[in-house]
């Protein structure tokens, strides 16, 4: 099948929910790498890497939405998008400045790029719509079946997932909800209890009722240095359920709108008129100094560093991961522990642990033994202001004998409350976090 035929087939699927997904993404975000906007952020924001003109982002977004609505053909999208980019001087090669590095980078807009933009956005939109429909109908259709196109173009691992049939709420769908990569043509179909009990697909082949073993590989986001455990067979960036992310974004927006609508003068209408949306992730305030501008040495050159503790095995569920963190940190269930650091006492509540490990693909519980050494004897502590009026202290620790270092962030709220989180990073990525004011450095570093 051609790409055009594939898309025509997709057009038969849940178009109303697909349009809803596209229309929820009202934030237009300028990015300079496909890694700048990640997973759930795509449910609220629309971007095209290195397209720095917000008006052009809006134009292309409207074209894609019209196409999914059936008001614009794929051919018309290609023609109109090319015309808009050409008129603005963005067709062909374009040089832009990457603010993260200050360097010139070259981007290119041509027919192949426009096709990829179209393909990725429309397939993600239909995937979100299909998930919404699956959730809505799961009382009558409690299972989902993974389906490939069963031709020579199907990726080998995707081929192995063909006919995997599992409950809608099975964790497999948290990471294996198609599309599972660029130009992936796989999809999932709802299955009734009767069909499941019969155990056969419409073509007579047997359903696979056991979840396949999910192997992961560590993948480093070169923009942030963050390390994620990505399932083998899935392209990094596609290892999440776009439908779940869209549903959460819609629920958050509804919560904001409902609260505003109870206020005098119906602030919800005013907020909508002004284009106000549910808040996105807080960002570091502009123009903060970094380690280079302050003249500090590269952490990759650090010598006298601590020996890395044992790296623990990852687990499948959030509940298991929380238990691992409790044991490593010495926190009783429902209790807390106070950790003395070189500059303050940090209280870690048991109630905060679930948030730390809820992104199962990252398997942060593997690094549980790294947390106390990082807080108690950090290599550096940095304090940086964010645009949500918070100060966040970043505890950084360099270890030897370990592929990754640890980043522990203590977030100080405007009311003085404290929240904490941790992430694993590679040494280069740890350097990227050294911004703001360095308030502590290990004398032996």
In the predicted model, is pLDDT for residue 169 greater than 90?
Answer: yes
pLDDT, greater one: 42 or 260: 42
Give me the DSSP letters along 158-214: HHHHTTBEEETT-THHHH--S--STT---EEEEE-HHHHHHTB-TTSPBPB-SPPP-
**Are the CB atoms for 227 and 219 separated by under 8 Å?**
yes
Region of poorest pLDDT, from 157-161, 192-196, 220-224: 220-224
pLDDT value at position 302?
82
pLDDT value at position 285?
83
Region of poorest pLDDT, from 92-101, 255-264, 281-290, 336-345: 255-264
Task: Kindly compute the dihedral angle of the four CA atoms of residues 109, 112, 115, 119, in this order, to the nearest 10 degrees.
Answer: -110
Cα angle 84, 96, 296; round to 5: 155
In the predicted model, is pLDDT for residue 58 greater than 50?
Answer: yes
CA distance 219 to 231: 10
Region of poorest pLDDT, from 41-45, 95-99, 216-220: 41-45
Query: Which CA distances in Å does 400 have to 34, 228, 296, 303?
Result: 31, 20, 20, 9
- The DSSP symbol for 219 reads E
425 Cβ neighbours under 8 A, 6+ residues apart? 224, 225, 226, 227, 404, 405, 406, 407, 433
Q: pLDDT grade, residue 407 (50/70/90)?
A: low
pLDDT, greater one: 255 or 434: 434
Q: pLDDT grade, residue 120 (50/70/90)?
A: confident
Which has the closest alpha carbon to 409: 426, 398, 400, 397? 397
Q: Give me the mean pLDDT over the 373-385 stretch.
A: 91
The secondary element (H helix, E strand) that includes residue 369 is helix 368-376
Q: Give me the mean pLDDT over the 52-59 stretch.
A: 91
pLDDT value at position 419?
59
Quick: pLDDT tens for 245-255.
766 555 545 54
Q: At residue 303, what are phi and psi to the nearest 5 degrees?
A: -110, -110
Q: Give me the mean pLDDT over the 339-364 stretch.
A: 86
178 three-class SS: coil
Alpha helices in 144-192 (DSSP H): 156-161, 172-175
In the predicted model, is pLDDT for residue 101 greater than 90?
Answer: no
User: How many Cβ atoms are within 10 Å of 58's Cβ, its own excluded?
Assistant: 13
CA distance 305 to 108: 43
**Are the CB atoms for 433 and 396 separated by under 8 Å?**
yes
In the predicted model, is pLDDT for residue 408 greater than 80?
Answer: no
- The DSSP symbol for 285 reads P
**Are the CB atoms for 332 and 351 separated by under 8 Å?**
no
Q: pLDDT grade, residue 397 (50/70/90)?
A: confident
**Are the CB atoms for 170 and 202 separated by under 8 Å?**
no
Task: Kindly compute the dihedral angle of the four CA atoms of residues 138, 140, 142, 143, in this order, to the nearest 10 degrees.
Answer: -110
In the predicted model, is pLDDT for residue 281 greater than 70?
Answer: no
Query: Which CA distances in Å does 278 have to 65, 250, 254?
Result: 21, 9, 9
Strand order in the sheet with 391-397: 418-425, 405-412, 391-397, 380-385, 437-441
Sign of CA dihedral 115, 120, 125, 131: positive
pLDDT value at position 26?
67
Q: Give me the mean pLDDT over the 283-305 stretch.
A: 87
Place of tokens 């696979």: 208
Which has the closest alpha carbon to 360: 394, 411, 322? 322
Q: pLDDT grade, residue 381 (50/70/90)?
A: very high
pLDDT, greater one: 125 or 3: 125
Alpha helices in 11-53 (DSSP H): 15-24
- Residues for the chain: how many in total? 445
pLDDT value at position 248?
56
Q: Which two tokens stand for residue 413?
A: 């709220």
What is the pLDDT of the chain when averaged over all its residues? Answer: 82
Q: Which two tokens stand for residue 115?
A: 């096709």
- The DSSP symbol for 284 reads B
Region of poorest pLDDT, from 56-60, 238-242, 269-273, 328-332: 269-273
Q: Give me the mean pLDDT over the 175-186 stretch.
A: 94
Q: What percent of the chain has pLDDT over 70?
A: 82
CB burial of residue 251 (10 Å; 0-12, 13-18, 19+): exposed
Q: At residue 284, what are phi and psi to the nearest 5 degrees?
A: -60, 140
**Are the CB atoms for 173 and 144 separated by under 8 Å?**
yes
pLDDT value at position 27?
76
pLDDT value at position 421?
65
CA distance 168 to 334: 31
Task: Kindly compute the dihedral angle of the four CA atoms of residues 71, 73, 78, 82, in this order, to the nearest 10 degrees.
Answer: -30
CA distance 68 to 64: 6
């Amino acid at each position: 099948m051609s790409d055009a035929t594939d898309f025509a087939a997709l057009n038969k699927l849940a178009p109303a929910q697909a349009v809803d997904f596209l229309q929820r993404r009202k934030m237009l975000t300028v990015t300079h790498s496909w890694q700048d906007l990640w997973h759930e952020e795509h449910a609220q924001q629309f971007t095209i890497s290195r397209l720095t003109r917000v008006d052009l982002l809006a134009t292309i977004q409207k074209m894609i939405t019209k196409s999914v609505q059936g008001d614009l053909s794929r051919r018309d999208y290609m023609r109109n998008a090319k015309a808009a980019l050409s008129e603005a001087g963005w067709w062909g090669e374009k040089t832009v400045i990457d603010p993260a590095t200050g360097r010139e980078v070259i981007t290119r807009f041509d027919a192949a790029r426009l096709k990829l933009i179209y393909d990725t956005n429309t397939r993600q939109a239909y995937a979100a719509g299909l998930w919404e429909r699956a959730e809505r109908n799961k009382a009558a259709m409690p299972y989902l079946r993974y389906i490939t196109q069963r031709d020579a173009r199907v990726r080998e691992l995707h081929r192995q997932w063909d006919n995997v049939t599992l409950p809608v709420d099975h964790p497999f769908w948290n990471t294996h909800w198609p599309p599972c990569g660029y130009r992936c043509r796989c999809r999932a179909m709802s299955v009734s209890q009767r069909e499941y009990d019969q155990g056969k697909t419409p073509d007579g082949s047997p359903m696979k009722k056991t979840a396949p073993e999910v192997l992961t590989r560590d993948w480093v986001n070169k923009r942030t240095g963050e390390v994620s455990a990505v399932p083998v067979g899935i392209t990094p960036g596609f290892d999440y359920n776009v439908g779940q992310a869209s549903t959460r974004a819609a629920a958050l927006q509804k919560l904001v709108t409902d609260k505003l609508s109870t206020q005098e003068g119906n602030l919800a209408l005013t907020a909508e008129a002004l284009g106000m949306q549910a808040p996105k992730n807080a960002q570091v305030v502009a123009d903060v100094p970094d380690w280079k501008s302050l003249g500090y040495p590269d952490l990759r050159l650090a010598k006298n560093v601590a020996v890395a503790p044992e790296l623990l095995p990852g687990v499948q569920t959030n509940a298991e991961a929380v238990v691992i963190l409790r044991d490593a940190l010495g926190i009783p269930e429902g209790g807390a522990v106070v950790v003395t650091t070189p500059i303050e006492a940090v209280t870690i509540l048991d109630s905060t642990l679930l948030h730390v490990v809820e992104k199962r693909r990252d398997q942060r519980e593997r690094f549980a033994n790294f947390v106390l050494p990082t807080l108690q004897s950090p290599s550096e502590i940095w304090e940086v202001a964010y645009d949500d009026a918070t100060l966040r202290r970043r505890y950084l620790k360099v270890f030897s004998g370990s592929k990754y270092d640890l980043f522990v962030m203590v977030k100080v709220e405007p009311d003085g409350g404290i929240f904490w989180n941790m992430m694993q990073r590679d040494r280069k990525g740890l350097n990227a976090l050294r911004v703001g004011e360095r308030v502590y450095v290990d004398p032996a570093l």
